[in-house]
Amino acid sequence: MRKWGSSLLAAIVGFCLLGAPLPAHARAIAILSPDHEQTWAWAQFRDYSWTLDHGKSLALIVTYTNQLLSSQDDPLRNDDFWFRFPSVRFDPATGNFFYTPPGAKGPPLLVAHRANGFIKTTALTGDALAVVVRSNGALQAAIAVGTARRPAHGSLLEIVRPGPFTLQSLIGETGQYH
């Protein structure tokens, strides 16, 4: 399976910051998941959720389906893909997830919060956006923190590319917010 590595990181940071001026004190960074997954090239995004991974870090679960193409010969399938963010650490005392960029000075960045209650839901903070890029079925995910591009109606942006991509190919790309 092809790994996109730093080219995806550069593309996500560039995409999330294009046309979105940040305050001088703001830090804009992208946190890349080390996980690479593979779904069908024609798969349809279905759902996503955030969870606590092994009690210590943040994970994104993304579900893709073959619902539009399912038939008697090809039954309905929903596949869950896990994207771990081991560098986004959970603080059980506050219920917050924090990220400290390598070599950074100052306080860690708040990325997400886990609600304390009967149902423990996890959500990204207002200035964080999850990005899932799907290219010919290959999946990779990242979290962009410190971006002003996040809309009010969604915290996950899916970008579908028909083939390899570069930072320039993402300029002007809108994707689908979920």
Average model confidence (pLDDT) across the chain: 76
Q: Is the pTM of this model over 0.95?
A: no
Q: Which residues contact 143 (CB under 8 A, 6 or more apart)?
A: 30, 31, 58, 85, 88, 111, 124, 128, 129, 130, 131
Cα→Cα distances 66→46, 71, 136, Å? 9, 10, 14
**Is the pLDDT confidence value at 147 over 70?**
no
Model confidence pLDDT, tens digit, residues 100-144: 888 878 888 899 998 877 777 888 887 888 888 888 888 888 888
Least confident of 23-27, 34-38, 101-105: 23-27
